[in-house]
Amino acid sequence: MSQPLITLDFLDKAPATEAPALPLDVRVSAATRTGRTRKLYIESYGCQMNFSDSEIVSSILADEGFDTTEDLAGADLVLLNTCSIREKAEQTVRMRLTQINSHKKRNPGMLVGVLGCMAERLKAKFLEEEKIVDLVVGPDAYRDLPQLISQVDGGQKAVNVLLSREETYADITPVRLNSNGVSAFISIMRGCDNMCSFCVVPFTRGRERSRDTHSILQEARDLVAAGYKEVTLLGQNVDSYKWASADGLEHVNFAQLLERVALVSAHLRVRFSTSHPKDITDEVLHTMARHDNICKYIHLPAQSGNSRVLELMNRTYDRPWYEERVAAIRRILGDDCAISTDMIAGFCSETEAEHQDTLSLIDHVQYDMAYMFFYSERPGTLAARKLADDVPLDVKKRRLQEIIDRQQAHSRARYERGVGRVHQVLVENFSKRSEEHLSGRNSQSQVVIFPKQNFQKGDYVNVLVTSTTGGALLGEAI
Ligand code: SAH
Ligand code: SF4
Ligand code: F3S
C-alpha cells in the first residue's frame, strides 16, 4: 500500500477478470519534494475520476504550501479521496481510517480529511461516525480546501459538500501524481444525469456538466509539450459531452472534441472512458476510424444481457439496441476494435434465465475485457427505494463466478488472436517481471512485453508477438 502507484498499475497483470477490478484499487500519490513546508499524504479510491481529482486537489494545496509525500506517518495532512459505488468500497475506507487513527495517536498534529463520493454521501454524519475525521469535502468543493484547512488549523471541524452545476476545475493545472510520464488523464466532464437505478454516482457527483473545449485542448497541448504520449479523456458518460461558447457561435459534441484532441499531435494517443450504450454515435465511431492515434478500444458497459433487467436498471436501452451498437462498432471499425464491459450479477429480481442472458451476451460480443461485480444496494438510489434486493448473496456470488469464468475464456481468446501479428506498442514502463523487459500497450489496450534493447519509456515500438500468457502478449521488437 505504501509504494507509489503509477497510472497504469494493471500493466503486466492479467486483464481484470475478477471482481472488484478497476474501480477498487487504491493509489498513493507520489512525492513532489519541491521544498514546501507542509506534507500532504493523499490516497485515492474508486475510479479514474477520483485519481484525476486528487491531482487537482494537490495542485490547489501546492499553492497553499503543501508538498505531497508517500510517508503517511510523517504527514501533516492526510486526505482519503473516497468511493461509494459498492458497500465494500466504503468498508475499505472505514478500515483505513482506523489504521490512520493509530498514526494520529503517535502524531497528534496530523489532520485527517475525507474527500470524494463518500464525503458527499455521508456529509456531516461522517464527523459524528468517525471521530478521527477533521474535514469532509465533496467533489465540487475542492477550491474551498484552503479556507476549510485554516478552519481546521484553528481547532474546528470543517465540512463543505455543496454540489455545483458549473464547476469543472477547467483552469486548474493538475499536479501529475499518478502518472508514469507517458500517459495522463484529462477530465472532460463531471457528474451524471442518467439515474441508473443501482447507481450512487448521480447523488455523489451531481449534475452532468461539460468542460470548456479550449481548456481541454490546451491541457492536451501542454501534456504533449511535457513529453506525454497518451491522454485518456474521462467522464461518466463521455458521449454526452456537449459544450457551447458563451456567444453561442461554437458548439462541440464528443465526436468533434475527440477529433480536435486527436489533431493536437499525431504522436499523441487518445483514449476515452466511459461510453454509454445509449449515446455512442456512428459519428464517434467514424471519427475513431479516421484517426490512427485514437485507440481502437471502447468501454461499453452493458450491465446485463436481459432487456427486462436493463429496464429495471433504468439503462434506457434494451438488448437488441446494445447488440446493434456492437454491430456498428464491428461494421465501422472492424473486428480489431477491442470492446470491454461492466456486468452486475444478481440485480433485484434477476432470474436464473435472465442471468443466462448475461452469459449469452458475453458469448455474443466476445469482450476483450470486463469488470464484473455482484449487486450491492446503495442507500438512496432508485433501486433501494423501489426494488427488493432479493437475490441471496450466495446466488449473486455464484452467478458472478459464472460470469467471470465465461469472460476469462474470451479474454484469453482475444489475446491469442494477437499472436503472430505485429503490434504498435507505446512503452510505459519496465516489465514487473524483469528490468530487461519493457511493458506497454497496443491500441486495443492489451499488455505487450518484449526485451528492452535500446528502447525506453515513451517510445512507440513495433513488436512481433510470438506468444501469450492469456493476460499479456510476449514478443520482440522488429
Ligand atoms: N458511468 C459508467 C459506470 C460508472 S460506475 C457507466 O454508466 O457505465 C462503474 C461500474 O460499477 C458500473 O458500470 C457498474 O457495473 C458498477 N456498479 C455501479 N453501481 C453498482 C452497485 N450498486 N452494485 C454493483 N455494481 C455497481
Ligand atoms: Fe451511474 Fe449510470 Fe451514471 Fe454510469 S451512467 S455513472 S452507471 S448513473
Ligand atoms: Fe466511486 Fe465516485 Fe468514482 S462512487 S466509482 S469514486 S464517481
> Domain locations in the chain?
9-160, 181-295, 322-417, 422-477
**φ, ψ of residue 80 in degrees (nearest 5):** -110, 120
In a mutational test of the pocket of ligand 3, which residue from 117, 189, 371 has the highest number of ligand atoms less than 8 Å from its CB?
A: 117
Q: Is the CB of 211 under 6 A from ligand 3?
A: no
Query: Domain 422-477: what homologous superfamily?
Result: Nucleic acid-binding proteins (2.40.50.140)
Distance from Cα 40 to the centre of ligand 2, integer Å:
31
Q: Could you tell me whether strands 242-244 and 251-253 are parallel, antiparallel, or unpaired per DSSP bridges?
A: antiparallel
Closest residue by Cα to atom 3, ligand 1, is 236
Q: What does the pLDDT profile of the chain (478 residues) look like in tens digits?
A: 233 222 222 223 333 332 332 344 677 777 777 777 899 999 999 999 999 999 999 999 999 999 999 999 999 999 999 999 999 999 999 999 999 999 999 999 999 999 999 999 999 999 999 999 999 999 999 999 999 999 999 999 999 999 999 999 999 999 887 678 999 999 999 999 999 999 999 999 999 999 999 999 999 999 999 999 999 999 999 999 999 999 999 999 999 999 999 999 999 999 999 999 999 999 999 999 999 999 999 999 999 999 999 999 999 999 999 999 999 999 999 999 999 999 999 999 999 999 999 999 999 999 999 999 999 999 999 999 999 999 999 999 999 999 999 999 999 999 999 999 999 999 999 998 888 999 999 999 999 999 999 999 999 999 999 999 999 999 999 9
Q: Which grid cell is 35?
A: 521544498
**Domain 9-160 class, CATH top level:** alpha beta
Closest residue by Cα to atom 11, ligand 1, is 85
Strand partners, 210: 189
- The CATH code of the domain at 322-417 is 3.30.750.200
- Rounded CA-CA distance 338/330 in Å is 10
CA-closest candidate to residue 179, choices 77, 295, 32, 319: 32
Closest residue by Cα to atom 2, ligand 2, is 196
Distance from Cα 193 to the centre of ligand 3, integer Å:
14
Q: Which grid cell is 219?
A: 491541457
Q: Is the CB of 410 under 6 A from ligand 2?
A: no
Fold match, 9-160 / 422-477: no
- Rounded CA-CA distance 67/38 in Å is 6
Distance from Cα 201 to the centre of ligand 2, integer Å:
6
pTM, whole model, 2 decimals?
0.92
Say yes or no: domain 181-295 is CATH 3.30.750.210: yes
Burial degree of 88 (CB within 10 A; 0-12, 13-18, 19+): middle
How many degrees, rounded to 5, is the angle at CA 94 between CA 91 and CA 98?
140
